Amino acid sequence: MHTNSEARSNAARQRVFCCLTLVYAVVASAAVAQPGGYTGPNVEVTEGPDITVWNIASAMSYGPVGSIRAYSVGTDSCNIGSVDAKWCDVANQANCMAQPGWDIADHPVISQNLYRLRTNGENGAFRQIGQGWLKHGFNSTNTTRSDCRGNIGGVPQSCPSTPGGASLVVGCTDFYSAGTNAAQSMAPRSEMISAAGGDFPTNYTQPGGGGFSAIEGRMQAEEVDIDPSEAANVGADYWVEAHYLTEDDATFAGYGTGDERNGRNGLNNASYRRVTFSGGFTLTVDGSTPTQREAPAIYAWKAQDPEVEIIEFDLDTTPTQRFHIAYKVTDLPVRSGAPLVHTEVVVHNMNSDRSARALEIQFPADSTISSQGFHDVDSHSGEPYSVTDWAMPVVANTVRWETETHATNINANALRWGTAYTFWFDSTQDPRDASWTLELFTPGTPQQVTIPIGNVLFADNFESGTTAAWTSVTP
């Protein structure tokens, strides 16, 4: 049996499908975030170099230093595209420089991130609890894996018999062990010139200025977030995400003039896998579950909880800059005669150089808002970024989180690429009827985007059948 509210929600969804083309025609000139194009791994044949993480295997544990532990996992990348990817070795410059137009910066960098989902408290909240610096790729091994395939002219291409060297050949893999990925010849994320474009400097600053502790630059996590003996961590799930960024993959534009696939090969470069923690804070890759390929770890939340909704939206740039917003709305017991819902929101910046500095949710009428909260993941090992939590002003019917502006502090705690921040609150109205806005950090156009959440299309009498019922503001 459906309740009246469920019936209205289903009817609204049907109207979304029938009117979606019209809606996007109406908002095309506005600063409205468009849903992204990802629909699952290997959904289409790609052209050009196209790198993804094919497998996450093995793990190393380090520390502690104070209350902080550090970790690394092994990664196996695969070129599923149609063109060999540049894999230059800084230590073997002659091998690379022999290729016309290549230089020693033509190789991938690899980030690693740690996520947790607690079922014991926190309303089933998803949090990023760790991140590491960037491992530089080098000298591809060009190894055959039976399930790694590229394509030539649309025909599946296995790895040919070819030696390793300055490129990752179509259909081949390149494996780095957990120990190799933990080598402290890493680069700080702050020196990335463009995550969307896979661009970084050849000469980079090493963690600790070259004086390494056991955790410097590596993927770090606070003991309290991973300790199996902590009551809040009982039953918690954990995932490691690995993400490759490389310029020739991210910027490939050979699909043809005006083809929307240009500059989008870099959107499938992250994969994730379940990990566990045992006594002594040892991280182990879960051998009973496979690597989830071509998707960032935010999809682990929805895989665990079907009530979670995820929106992919892209900034209108080439290469494409992508954010994800995942959210879950849970009914709470009625208090003082008023319905109450709890909302958990995770905003993930996959590769946007614009970053984000504020999230605002404006309800169409007065709503009582309470229990507002925020969680981020701290930069470390000498990164210049602030770790100050976002402010949480509540004004009338609006709930907002914000950090400093770019003009005030270029090293403010903005939501930068490869990170996810979590926001939560209780309200007496359904947030899916509210207007959601994400304000970007670095200067540019647009400076903010409207996020199409839930029933927002109909919160302004859109379904009334007459434009006279619409207001002049965008809910």
Q: DSSP string covering 331-385, please? A: EEEEETTEEEEEEEEEEEESS-SS-EEEEEEE-SS---EEEEEEE-----TT---
* Contacts of range 60-66, beta carbons closer than 8 Å, 24 or more positions apart: 60/178, 60/179, 60/182, 60/283, 61/281, 61/282, 61/283, 62/182, 62/214, 62/215, 62/218, 63/214, 63/215, 63/281, 64/214, 64/215, 64/223, 64/281, 65/213, 65/214, 65/215
Q: Domains of the chain: which residue ranges?
A: 31-469
Terminal-to-terminal C-alpha distance of the chain: 31
Cβ neighbours around 284 below 10 Å, total: 13
pLDDT confidence of residue 158: 92
The Cα–Cα gap between 154 and 112 comes to 32
pLDDT (tens place) for every residue of the chain, 475 residues total? 333 333 333 333 333 333 332 222 222 223 333 333 333 333 456 899 999 999 999 999 999 999 999 999 999 999 999 999 999 887 666 667 777 778 888 999 999 999 999 987 666 789 999 999 999 998 899 999 989 999 888 889 999 987 778 899 999 999 999 999 999 888 999 999 999 999 998 777 776 666 789 999 999 999 999 998 888 898 999 999 999 999 999 999 988 888 888 999 999 999 999 999 988 799 999 999 999 999 999 999 999 999 999 999 899 999 999 999 999 999 987 766 667 999 999 999 999 999 999 999 999 888 889 999 999 999 999 999 999 999 999 888 999 999 999 999 999 999 999 999 999 999 999 999 999 999 999 999 999 999 998 654 444 445 545 555 454 333 3
Q: Is the separation of the CB atoms in 210 and 365 below 8 Å?
A: no
Q: Which token pair is 3?
A: 């309740």
Residue 135, C-beta contacts closer than 8 angstroms, at least 6 positions apart: 109, 110, 111, 112, 176, 180, 181, 183, 186
pLDDT confidence of residue 22: 26
pLDDT confidence of residue 25: 24
pLDDT confidence of residue 102: 82
